[in-house]
Amino acid sequence: MKAKILVALKSGVLDPQGKAIQHALLGLGFPGVGEVRVGKAIDIALSETDPAKARAQAEEMCRKLLANTVIESYRIEIEP
Amino acid sequence: MKAKILVALKSGVLDPQGKAIQHALLGLGFPGVGEVRVGKAIDIALSETDPAKARAQAEEMCRKLLANTVIESYRIEIEP
């Protein structure tokens, strides 16, 4: 199975990288640009074949390594 | 409108960050972990209200700033 994990900063947490992109886009002549938020998209190939077990594994990976749950939230999609 | 942009390394391009995550996960006791690829998820708020124009703007942003099209590909989703 494949786990597609999206790790994003929680709303309310400052995102300096997003701010920098916003300013760069405004400077490049895109006047309609508002808030920009940047997250990580992590694709993991898993040998697990049961979707529920694959999701449980991915959850544990997020909690243990991939996300800092104090400031980041994560979303997991499991694909065959 | 909101543009959700996913920038990922093209397949075939080495991903050292993904490799590091893979090794860390194996070290943490997740034996079934295969290839790991890491990309960027960029959410941009746009004042544009026409979906087609918003997509065209996002395309231009990707080409000009957000993606290095030599080694990265991008995918754009437009949401209201």
Inter-chain CB proximity A41 and B65 less than 8 Å: no
Length of chain B, in residues: 80
CB B17 within 8 A of CB B38: yes
Number of domain units in chain A: 1
Residue among B8, B25, B41 whose CB faces A8 most closely = B41
> Per the confidence metrics, is the pTM higher than 0.90?
yes
Minimum distance, in Å, between the CA of residue B20 and any CA atom of chain A: 11
Give residue A29's pLDDT band: very low, low, confident or very high (50, 70, 90).
Answer: very high
| Interface contact A48, partner B, CB < 8 A | yes
Average pLDDT, chain B: 97
- Domain enclosing residue A20, as ranges: 2-79
pLDDT at B15: 97
Beta strands A2-9; A72-79: pairing state:
antiparallel
Backbone angles phi, psi at B68, to 5 degrees: -95, 100
| Interface contact A11, partner B, CB < 8 A | no
- Which of A67, A4, A77, A55 minimizes the C-alpha distance to B35? A4
Question: In chain A, which residues have their Cβ closer than 8 Å to the Cβ of B46?
Answer: 32-34
pLDDT digits (tens, 9 = 90+) for B19-41: 999 999 999 999 999 999 999 99
CB A67 within 8 A of CB A32: no
Give residue A57's pLDDT band: very low, low, confident or very high (50, 70, 90).
Answer: very high
Shortest CA distance from B47: residue in chain A: A32
ipTM: 0.91
- Domain of residue A27, CATH code: 3.30.1280.10
Pick out chain B residues at pLDDT < 50. Answer: none
